Chains A and B, each alone.
Chain A
Amino acid sequence: MKKYNFWFFSSFSIALIVALPIFTVFFSFFSETSNYFTILKNTFLFDYINNSLLILISVLTITFLLGVISAYFISFYEFPLSNFFSWALILAFAIPGYIFAFSIIAFFENYGTAYSILTNIFGEYNYNPHIPKFDGVLGSIIAISFSLFPYVYVLTRSSFFFQSNNYIEVGQNLGLSEKETFLKIILPSARPAIIAGLALVAMECLSDFGTVSVFSVSTLTTGIYNSWISFDDLNSANQISFILLLFILFLFSVEIYSRKEAKYHQPARGFKPINKIKLNGKKSLLAFSFCFSVFLISFVFPVSQMIYWTIKFPKYIQDINILKINLNTLYLVGLASLVLVFISLFINYGSRISKSRILNYLTNFSISGYAIPGVILAVAFITFFSNISDLINENTNIGSTKKIFIGSIFGLILAYFIRFFSLSFNGIKSSYEKINNSIDESAYLLGYSKIKTFSKIHIPYLKNNIILIILLISLEIIKELPITMILRPFNFETFATQAYVYASQDLIEAAALPSLFLISWATVLILFSSKYILSRKN
């Protein structure tokens, strides 16, 4: 097969599209800016970095504790509802940080839900001074931690799950106590998985836009947004993006490296599942209380707060066109999944049959899109297409092409594509790699053409995985805020944007209904996804 063929150019184009935001941010770093960036450098930039790092370090500590401890209890012990918690803790994925933030504000604010509960139980009194206030940086840390800890939980639990009982038995045989076995054998071998989980948390945390803006905390992401929205200075926005990208790309490399390491820690043969120990008495109560508290705070608390508000303020039910938002969401999710899965299949198939190394590097480069925060992506997207449009405008009579990409469904889908291509491509790739090459060759030798091999052998094999990928993409798009906020067509609302718009207008109670719908959709998707993951494991 020729080196530069159809598959090469297809992969090259996709790598180029995904790399657009990175190139734009990089080149903008050297462009001229307004005075705003100079003022910013001398005033708030340090605060942005400071806040971002403070939130990052705190979130990493909390998610580490929540994720690892709950994974440890659930993987090695049996206690009341332990089986329920094993999947219920994942439901926190359904709550985006900004919805958790609404809940915190609603519950702890003056005359909020906590006040109402206390009044109902103990009667009228001014409880406000006694109710703690979790706002600003502290509120952001709590909200982000509880919405992101499942990354650490899921990866650590799966690492514990694949830890063969043989290792534990060998530890015991060598005279190690239960505690020593955990510290010297179990935890070190789960280390790459934990680091991979924490790297994902860190990337998401630095990318977070919704939560910090709900609490009005200035971080690098809000700085990017404000430079663009308030000062109309795209170059400044891109320069802050450059600083943030440096952090993110470092974390991205840590995550990739840790995942590679994690593979070597999985036993290939002689795997023996862990024999869970049944806990009694205080130990059982401790394990139960911990997992129950995490579940309560991460899922039950925001869900019940949203339900309570929806019931308490029924007038907003009439104001919001729920059917339209549902259809909008379905439309976006359907279109984006279709495009992503189709192109991912196409590129995976191309790199499989052409076996080109350059193609592999290109596709690996394309997956870096996932590391780019939504805000950066959206701002870079606008910068790039505005520049292109200006260029076309100056040199031709075509007129402005901005509308094709900015504020259009096409542009939105393209941005989703850049952001989620890695999720879709890697998801299909991991399953594709399990089909041995000799299977394709067998099919050819039995007289099947390449297309028939693809349709008769590959597609039936990948079917379940494709469904899983669609579920995961849908989950991400439903929760996605900054890209949708910035690039959506005028008056086009999703649950995430509708909730955020209300919240930014100080109508947090009105954000309850769209938030509740978002959580319901996300919960259903998570439950279906875990069903597919479990059925594949079986």
Chain B
Amino acid sequence: MSNGFFNIKNGDFIASAKNKVNEVNLKIENQGEIISLLGPSGVGKTTILRTIAGLQKISSGEIFLKNKLISSNEIHIEPEKRNIALSFQDNSLFPNYKVIDNINFGKKRLNGNASAIDADEIIKLLHIEPILEKFPHQISAGEAQRVSLARSLMSKPDLLLLDEPFSNIDQSLKDEIQVSVKKLLKRINLTTIIVTHDSYEAFSMADKCGIILNQKLKQYDVPYNVHHEPNSIEIAKFLNKGVFIDVTVVDSKCAVHRLNHEVLGEIRGKLSNDFPSGAKVKLLLQPEDLIHDDQSKLKLEVVDRKFRGTNFIYTLKTKNGEHLPVFVHSHHIHQHEKSEKFGIKSPIYIDHLVCF
């Protein structure tokens, strides 16, 4: 069976008793794909990156790059011989060299060959021009992170590993840099694995996203599916996208599946898993699933309202004590106060009925 461009087979990654990830199977089929690994802090994401880079040995399993075995119980290719670049989360710039010299250190791997991108382009793209002559201790954490990224890009690696690459960058620059870096990675066809705990970053940057929870790679899929069809309650809870409500499956055979909720009534949509009619299940209800309608007869009490810029999130209470989140555009004609009644369009239609 082909290993694709990069492949981890049954990989066990152990940094400490608590910090370990077992039985990881992760394949990158084609060169140039961007993968993100998402999970809470301390779950072992960085350990995986360090092992791929060769800074740690794999506990068991195999890692292949360009069909060549680089890590296993018997084989461990030294980091300097892997042609894999890793941009660290903390400041790993060489303290006694200026920013420009740090970036030029990246050229060592090229052995005189031209890089796919030139230094000036990277410097401009990552907004590094004003700090080129400064030493690492004279720049901010966000600037250091950008320099580290530039240095890794300069080395023209086969595989680029980014550990929380944008965590220290100002919000105002972050979106712009994320877009530019993604464009650049795609243009130079550089395969990249990004580790992050920010789901927006993971979804926006990557072609495929892996979720690591409780020492396992729980789901590895395109970001759209991870978001809309998480394959377990724990992933849905981790992504913190909504709440679970108790429903009964009314009809799971027709093209449009139907569920019933004691207060909300009929809920229609497409079930992501198979359930027999009559089954009692938990349905994931996300804020965008319910639609506000002042004219609706289905009304619930407002218990909380949070302003989130472009929209408000209302928290509504059902008579059986469930709290349901609902998005309402912040320019909506009128806002509801606490204890007021809030109308919801019914019957409710949800594209992806994620039930467990």
Contact = CB atoms under 8 A, between A and B. Distances in A.
Given A436-B90, A438-B90, A441-B88, A447 B96 contact: no
A439 interface: yes
Interface string B130-141: 000000000000
Given A436-B90, A441-B88, A448 B95 contact: no
A448 B108 contact: yes
Contact of B79 (A439, A444, A460): A444
A447 B80 contact: yes
Given A447-B108, A447-B109, A448-B108, A442 B92 contact: yes
B80 A435 contact: no
Contact of A441 (B82, B92, B105): B92
A442, A445, A446, A448: most-surrounded residue (chain B CB, <10 A): A445
B108 A446 contact: yes
B80 A448 contact: yes
Interface string A459-475: 01100000000000000
Given A436-B90, A441-B79, A441-B88, A446 B95 contact: no
B84 A445 contact: yes
Interface residues of A, number: 17
A435 B95 contact: yes
A451 to B, nearest CB: 11
A274 interface: no
Interface in B36-55: 50, 53-55
A449 B96 contact: no
Nearest to A460: B96
Contacts of A444: 54-55, 78-80
Contacts of A527: none
A302 to B, nearest CB: 41
Main secondary structure of the interface of A (DSSP, over half): helix
Contacts of B84: 445
A457 B50 CA distance: 21
B312 interface: no
Nearest to A464: B96
A444 B148 CA distance: 14
B92 A447 contact: no
B202 interface: no
Contacts of A438: 88, 90, 92
Contacts of A435: 95
Contacts of A434: 95
A443 interface: yes
Contacts of A436: 90-92
B278 to A, nearest CB: 57
A455 to B, nearest CB: 13
Nearest to A442: B92
A436 B95 CA distance: 10
B161 to A, nearest CB: 9
A522 B55 CA distance: 46
Nearest to A438: B92
B86 interface: yes
A443 B94 contact: yes
Contacts of B152: 445
B155 interface: yes
Given A436-B91, A436-B92, A446-B155, A441 B85 contact: no
A448 B92 CA distance: 15
Nearest to B84: A445
A444 B91 CA distance: 16
A447 B112 CA distance: 13
Contacts of B86: 441-442, 445
B223 interface: no
B230 interface: no
B50, B79, B85, B93: most-surrounded residue (chain A CB, <10 A): B79
Interface string A418-453: 000000000000000011101101111111110000
Contacts of B50: 441
A442 B91 CA distance: 10
Contact of A449 (B80, B92, B148): B80
Contacts of B292: none
Given A444-B79, A447-B108, A457 B90 contact: no
Given A457-B94, A461-B96, A446 B151 contact: yes
B149 to A, nearest CB: 12
Contacts of B148: 442
B60 to A, nearest CB: 19
A447 B106 CA distance: 9
Contacts of B94: 439, 442-443, 457, 461
A444 B55 CA distance: 9
A438, A447, A449, A457: most-surrounded residue (chain B CB, <10 A): A447
Contacts of A460: 96
A291 to B, nearest CB: 34
Contacts of A461: 94-96
Given A446-B151, A447-B155, A439 B109 contact: no
Given A441-B79, A461-B96, A446 B91 contact: no
A230 B85 CA distance: 69
Interface string B67-111: 000000000001110111110101111111000000001101100
Interface in B119-163: 148, 151-152, 155
A444 B81 CA distance: 8
27 contacts: A436-B91, A436-B92, A438-B90, A438-B92, A439-B92, A441-B50, A441-B79, A441-B86, A441-B88, A442-B151, A444-B54, A444-B55, A445-B80, A445-B82, A445-B85, A445-B155, A446-B106, A446-B108, A446-B151, A446-B155, A447-B83, A447-B108, A447-B155, A457-B94, A457-B96, A460-B96, A461-B96
Shortest 10 CB-CB contacts between residues of A and residues of B: A438-B92, A444-B79, A447-B109, A442-B92, A461-B96, A438-B88, A444-B80, A447-B108, A460-B96, A445-B86
Interface of A: 434-436, 438-439, 441-449, 457, 460-461
Given A435-B95, A446-B80, 9 more contacts: A436-B90, A439-B92, A441-B53, A442-B148, A445-B53, A445-B82, A445-B84, A446-B109, A448-B108
